[in-house]
Copies of this chain bind each other. A is one copy, B any other.
């Protein structure tokens, strides 16, 4: 049995920089036609110059593969209309992080007070630049995303023409927002479709499954599965694949992030097949994103076949999800 995916897209991806970039970017480029690149480098990507430099480094890392890095800027409320007008053609959106909420987010916004963000968000709205949001409060870890729901609602209401992407949603409450506000969309990761907090901390503690937002309850996973498997038109696949060297994961303080880029399509095929929803995978990993963002990714046909794929124990010094386990689908060819 084979399955062809046309131009698969990863709408939320960390490729980092330097050696890590050289390790992981080619792995994404191998099976995806494009990816939305997160701007939380150290320092973050806040200028056109640094954005174009980063884009060039990604192309260098990727080599000859057909792969479009959809670039994002790191949100600053100092961005004005003129600046945004200038950068518009080079970016797919702007990523907003509340300060300190995840890896390399120290320079994020200190407050989600709409008035402090208004000028920049109005300019983005006028220029039709999407806002990508890491939506978590600074509350109790299991409540952070749910608590941010009010902020999503306020943003959606105050800026009705602003396209707002709720990144890597993990709760049933976030899912329910999709049908309440026309201008709210979402990405969903692979790992949040597979795991709950039980997988992270219910048996042994599993650092390689520790991520932000943290995996939630079984009911939350069910809600995510429901919209992903049915390819709800407002949800897109975004791996949030976030590589860390093994030394930063298996240590006294383990960094947040699950590395899934090289195994994501295979694991998605397995999941969608298990639920008899293989027909919807094309929409979830490509068509919905094309429609939501009005993009035109490179033509790339990824043929998956139902043959056992033993996931490597590591890629360089990064341990992927499903390391040393078998998935039921492998990539047969990419054209």
Q: Which of B201, B208, B251 contacts A210 (CB 8 A)?
A: B201
Q: How far is the CA of A200 from the CA of B214 in the complex (A)?
A: 12
Q: Which of B196, B206, B253 contacts A252 (CB 8 A)?
A: B206
- A200 cross-chain contacts in B, Cβ below 8 A: 201
A255 within 8 A of B: yes
A87 within 8 A of B: no
User: Are B201 and A201 closer than 8 Å at their CB atoms?
Assistant: yes
How many protomers of this protein does the assembly include?
A: 2
A197 within 8 A of B: yes
User: Are B201 and A140 closer than 8 Å at their CB atoms?
Assistant: no
Q: How far is the CA of A319 from the CA of B207 in the complex (A)?
A: 18
Q: How far is the CA of A251 from the CA of B247 in the complex (A)?
A: 10
A114 within 8 A of B: no
Q: How far is the CA of A319 from the CA of B251 in the complex (A)?
A: 12
A254 within 8 A of B: yes
A227 within 8 A of B: no
A217 within 8 A of B: yes
Q: How far is the CA of A214 from the CA of B206 in the complex (A)?
A: 14
A316 within 8 A of B: no
| Chain A, range 184-206, C-beta contacts under 8 Å to B | 196-198, 200-206
Q: Which 10 A-B pairs have the closest CB atoms?
A: A204-B253, A205-B254, A141-B202, A205-B210, A141-B198, A250-B251, A250-B250, A141-B197, A205-B207, A141-B201
